[in-house]
Chain A
Amino acid sequence: MDDSPQLFQFVQSVLIGVIFSFLLAKLISVVVSFREENLSIVRGDSVEKELKPSSSESMPIIDDSENSGVSVVEPLVIERANLDTVIDGGGGGDGDDDADSDDDWEGVESTELDEEFSAATAFVAAVASDRLSQKVSNDVQLQLYGLYKIATEGPCSVPQPSALKMTARAKWQAWQKLGAMPPEEAMVKYIAIVTALYPTWATGSTSKIKGGESSDATSGYNKGPMGPVFSTFVYEEESGNELKMDAIHAFAREGDWENLLKCIESGVPVNSKDSEGRTALHWAVDRGHLNITELLASKNADVNAKDNEGQSPLHYAAVCEREAIAEFLVKQNAEINLKDNDGNAPFDLCDMKWPLLQHPVA
């Protein structure tokens, strides 16, 4: 029969449709039962990565006309499944110091979808004034509006504006006709429309969301939207500081054991001074590097070397409160009575008044 291939195709497509619907229903019921049983499935990073909606790939394209009914619904369901399972997918970092139990946050905290939706709305806000308004029909704009209101405020519960206010009324209708659509669904659809209009809008954002998400998340909040500001010192490179120093001082300052050793072994005098009269030992003590101090002492650095102000490494240890280093220097026979140009011994400069700097006689 001529018809039979067609009939066969028809039956086949019906069967596929039935199977698909069944699977879809099953998936929905699974999702719903997850919700009801309050199962939090996922915490690990691995699953988060697997399930993370990648906006540029899996988002439904709404004007993909062929079988739009399926292509819109299917990703949506998957999206919702993601939503429920990735609920704790923040990846750590933020809020860990808060000793909440995770159950408290089930279904409450921000999700990946929230973040993507935020990004989409921000994108729309950004292009609204120029590109969007030209390219996008009024209908689509109203659709975006309705979805936005559902996602952020829920079902429309405000009275209808008067018929004279055309725009207000059209917007009210766009919102109202979506009825009790769940906010998550509205977000997904909103994102879908934006993605359809601007397939590349999220380019580059997905990778950023994955890497270092938590620090991004918090830093965005530091300066807004209102309230006080946490300020720290602006780092100013000292100008007019004519200090001249050699590599050996810099290595000692940075605690760079290897290069310092090389430097000394290559014949640089261990007691060479910078333009302020400081030796490598002064710098090591100043920055609190005990291991470098020990290294320099083992290379016969002068523990009583004086800088241009007459201060020894022990003065530095006393001022900078480096107790372990001071102890070590004293053991290396650093002179505790050495006076600087102002007549101060290390003990005089030590706020902590360590006994180890006091002369036994006193």
Chain B
Amino acid sequence: MVDNNSTSNSPAESQTHNPDGNLPSESGVSIDSLARKVQESLSLAKRHKFWETQPVGQFKDLGDTSLPEGPIEPPTPLTEVKQEPYNLPSLYEWITCDMDSEETCNEVYALLTNNYVEDDENMFRFNYSMGFLRWALRPPGFFKNWHIGVRVKSSKKLVAFITGVPARIRVRDTVVYMAEINFLCVHKKLRSKRLAPVMIKEVTRRVHLENMWQAAYTAGVVLPTPISTCQYWHRSLNPKKLIDVGFSRLGARMTMSRTIKLYKLPDSTATPGFRKMESHDVPAATRLLRNYLSQFLVAPDFDENDVEHWLLPRENVVDSYLVESPETHEITDFCSFYTLPSSILGNQNYTTLKAAYSYYNVSTKTPLLQLMNDALIVAKQNDYDVFNALDVMQNESFLKELKFGPGDGKLHYYLYNYRVNHVLRPSELGLVLL
């Protein structure tokens, strides 16, 4: 299924197949170690039959500046977009997941909690909360039918999930309507059923039906072709727990006692006027963010509705703080993080790792270092175990100094059907996907 031209901009095109009748490796869900070994031994160029058929930047075009930046393929007339969903194996059926429904939300939550992304050693698994999922999937202008489930016809059990949400993302001077694709998850018991490619195709089809032709997504693997490659950094807030659960390790020459001292934070924040964002701050925060994000080559184009949705604090989902000058009452600085707990697998003493993820931060008057230290302090006060940040935007300037350590996770950013002519440095990227 992967080998046909899966953009399917026209039904006729979708029937052209590659000549070998083989399964390209990017199905990714391939469960067998042999499969992986074989794939890993191959050069990148050979591994991506699926993506080579897609309108994405290709490896062979890297560094070719003669190609124009912008859409790779023009939009197709909507009447030529495939109207019916892609075929699933006969035991399954497509459903639209209504996240307003408590029952559906529960099902999605259960699927992700038991089957979503884990670390390399299978010690942790993301445990996005239901509040988080509702927040992430219902931004202004969201499309319900971009929340796609696959269930077993007979038992009605939800076994796979993928989503898109609309976003305006600016690439250099152009604001592009895109879909942010996320939460692709296939039940562990179905990992070699090759559902992922057809799910990607189906969400692409539904995005096209809304007359959108670009998408943004991230992955831990290298596909054709990242617009940027970022790294995760971690700041211990509760080092003893992180060591006990295996998130970090204690060197043989290091004592727990000294490690705890090293990561100790003050009891209260340092910046005068540092407080939680409230709804009346939306206009000021929007101005601050728009101005700040304009310096990055790729960044979201936030309006007040977006800021109200994405950044107004929601308990245990997203937190935003800002600095209101005690004299002028001007809003001068802003920082935010989202809450993404993980299940700790197979530890007797702990079940949940509570992690804060740096989101959007703006400093104009308060030094960024001090602002982020205050963010660490409020995170610590609220019992987070670790504060994570990518090296995007200006984050690199505070990571080392605030005792973040490098993580083993690389995050690659991708755009679908949009060519960017050079690979961005993380510091040129102003986008955080959840």
How far does the alpha carbon of A149 sit from the alpha carbon of B2 in the complex, in Å? 10
Q: Whole-angstrom distance between the alpha carbons of A165 and B16 in the complex?
A: 9
Closest chain A residue to B118 by CB distance?
Answer: A222
Are A95 and B188 CB-contacts (below 8 A) given A221-B29, A227-B182, A241-B253?
Answer: yes
What DSSP secondary structure best describes chain A's contact surface?
helix
- Please report the C-alpha to C-alpha distance between residue A238 and residue B252 in the assembled complex, in whole angstroms: 9
Residues of A within 8 Å of B221, CB to CB, are 223-225
| Chain B proximity of A144: nearest CB distance (Å) | 5
Is A218 within 8 A of B256, CB to CB? no
Asked if residues A98 and B114 are in contact (CB atoms below 8 Å), the reply is: yes
Which of B89, B120, B217 touches A219 (beta carbons < 8 Å)?
Answer: B120
* Binding stretch for chain B, among A14-22, A59-67, A110-118, A331-339: A110-118
Please indicate the chain A residues that have their CB under 8 angstroms from the CB of B217 in the complex: 226-227
- Residue-by-residue, is A150-193 near B (CB-CB < 8 Å gives 1, otherwise 0)? 00111001110100010110011010000000010000000000
Q: Indicate whether B407 reaches chain A with its CB closer than 8 angstroms.
A: yes
Q: How far is the CA of A324 from the CA of B217 in the complex (A)?
A: 49
The complex places the Cα of A105 from the Cα of B121 at a distance, in Å, of 26
Task: Find out whether the CB atom of B189 lies under 8 angstroms from the CB atom of A95.
Answer: yes
Q: Is A8 an interface residue (CB 8 A)?
A: no
Whole-angstrom distance from the CB of A81 to the nearest CB of chain B? 20
Contacts of A27 on B, CB cut-off 8 Å?
none
**A234 in contact with B408 (CB, 8 Å):** yes
Q: Does A319 contact B (CB under 8 A)?
A: yes
B433 contacts across to A, CB distance below 8 A: 228
Contact of A223 among B31, B154, B197, B220 (CB under 8 A): B220
- List B contacts of A283 (CB < 8 A): 255
Let me know if A90 and B28 touch, CB within 8 A: no
| Interface contact A148-B120, CB-CB below 8 Å | no
Contact B219 A231 (CB under 8 A): no
- Please encode chain B, from 66 to 84, with 1 for each CB lying within 8 Å of some chain A CB and 0 for all others: 0000000000000000000
Q: Which of B20, B126, B189 contacts A228 (CB 8 A)?
A: B126
CA distance A159 to B14 in the complex (A): 11
A-B CB contact pairs (8 Å), 14 listed: A95-B114, A95-B188, A95-B189, A105-B189, A110-B191, A116-B32, A118-B30, A121-B35, A122-B39, A153-B1, A171-B19, A229-B117, A229-B218, A233-B247
Top 5 nearest A-B pairs (CB, nearest first) are: A231-B409, A145-B21, A225-B28, A121-B23, A231-B407
* Chain A residues near B (Cβ < 8 Å): 90, 94-95, 97-98, 100, 103-105, 107-110, 114-119, 121-126, 128-129, 132-133, 141-142, 144-149, 152-154, 157-159, 161, 165, 167-168, 171-172, 174, 183, 202, 204-205, 208-209, 215-238, 241, 243, 245, 250, 253, 278, 282-283, 286-288, 311, 315-316, 319-321
A157-B87, A220-B36 are known contacts; what are 12 more A-B pairs with Cβ within 8 Å?
A: A95-B187, A122-B32, A125-B39, A142-B21, A146-B21, A222-B118, A222-B120, A226-B28, A228-B220, A231-B234, A238-B254, A316-B256
